[in-house]
């Protein structure tokens, strides 16, 4: 019993340590990546329909070699402050292992010296909110080492809005309605069968 408890405890500690590995502070990261995205300030885009093209690269005002430790780049869709208010689950925390600002991965790429671009269709599960795009550069030990974003430091300029799918009848909605109807019919059918079985047993 004791060894079982110990095993569970050490497993819990292990997974905790794993999720917290590399808790870099955002405020310590240099903004060396130049990032731009196709949406204009205030533009409204539709999830599951509209595309965003993100362009990123080393900001040319930094010297050569600034990016020597950059190994990978992750492009993220991040909540603007107005869509974080009163929502703890989207909170900005300086410690990146706890930060909830950027919850949607647009792309994950090997870092290249040349300016790159990527076009992403906004995924269907992106909720209605105000967003900006941020890129993180990671070193070979998968720690964030630099960033760049499409908005200013206060996240007040150059924000766009995504309109979620809900309210429109997507094929997914229709599929789930069909599935629910099927489940209901199955239950009704099962009950009818059971009743008949009981009746014949009584006879
Ligand atoms: C970030 O948070 C994690 C988990 O609490 C912690 O292990 C790590 O040391 C923190 N990082 C910094 C730089 O404070
Ligand atoms: C590049 O960095 C300089 C100095 O930090 C900054 O003034 C400029 O706005 C940056 N350019 C881009 C495209 O981010
Ligand atoms: C988004 O990209 C897809 C695939 O490249 C394309 O089929 C679609 O028409 C684009 N949507 C818009 C609104 O441009
Ligand atoms: C995106 O990159 C391709 C090459 O990979 C280039 O031909 C194209 O012009 C770029 N588009 C934009 C908008 O920068
Ligand atoms: C990656 O960055 C982290 C945080 O700055 C640092 O502790 C680590 O030593 C770096 N790893 C490599 C291989 O440079």
The pLDDT mean for the chain works out to: 84
More confident call, 57 vs 202: 57
Q: What is the pLDDT of residue 176?
A: 59
C-alpha–C-alpha distance, residues 117 and 120, integer Å: 10
More confident call, 201 vs 19: 201
C-alpha–C-alpha distance, residues 132 and 112, integer Å: 22
Mutate to test the pocket of ligand 1, among 23, 24, 26, 28 (most ligand atoms within 8 A of CB): 23
Which of 169-173, 186-190, 194-198 has the largest mean confidence?
194-198
Q: What's the number of CA atoms in the CB half-sphere (13 Å) around residue 154?
A: 2
Q: What's the number of CA atoms in the CB half-sphere (13 Å) around residue 87?
A: 13
- At 128-186, the pLDDT tens digits run 999 999 999 999 999 999 999 999 999 999 999 999 987 555 555 555 555 666 666 67
Which of 3-12, 113-122, 136-145 bottoms out in mean pLDDT, i.e. has the lowest?
3-12
Query: Residue of the nearest CA to atom 4 in ligand 5?
Result: 143
- Closest ligand to the CA of 137: 5
Find out whether 121 and 48 touch, Cβ atoms under 8 Å: yes
- pLDDT-derived band at 113 (thresholds 50, 70, 90) equals confident
Q: What is the pLDDT of residue 13?
A: 41
Q: What is the pLDDT of residue 190?
A: 60
State whether the Cα torsion 142-75-129-171 is positive or negative.
negative
- Closest ligand to the CA of 97: 1
More confident call, 117 vs 7: 117
State whether the Cα torsion 100-105-111-114 is positive or negative.
negative
Of the chain, the percentage scoring pLDDT greater than 70 comes to 71
Contacts of 144 (CB under 8 A, 6+ apart): 22, 24, 26, 29, 96, 136, 137, 138
């Amino acid at each position: 019993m004791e060894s079982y408890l110990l095993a569970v405890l050490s497993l819990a500690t292990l997974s905790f340590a794993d999720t917290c590995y590399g808790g870099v502070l955002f405020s310590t990261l240099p903004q060396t990546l130049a990032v731009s995205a196709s949406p204009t300030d205030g533009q409204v885009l539709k999830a599951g329909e509209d595309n965003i093209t993100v362009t990123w690269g080393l900001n040319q005002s930094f010297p050569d070699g600034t990016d020597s430790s950059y190994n990978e780049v992750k492009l993220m869709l991040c909540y603007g402050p107005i869509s974080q208010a009163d929502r703890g689950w989207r909170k900005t925390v300086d410690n990146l292992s706890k930060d909830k600002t950027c919850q949607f991965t647009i792309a994950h790429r090997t870092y290249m010296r040349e300016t790159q671009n990527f076009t992403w269709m906004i995924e269907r599960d992106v909720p209605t909110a105000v967003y900006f795009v941020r890129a993180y550069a990671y070193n070979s030990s998968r720690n964030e080492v630099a960033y760049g974003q499409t908005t200013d430091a206060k996240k007040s300029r150059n924000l766009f809005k995504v309109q979620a799918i809900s309210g429109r009848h997507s094929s997914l909605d229709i599929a789930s309605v069909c599935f629910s109807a099927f489940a209901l019919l199955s239950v009704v059918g099962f009950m009818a069968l059971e009743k008949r079985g009981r009746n014949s047993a009584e006879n």
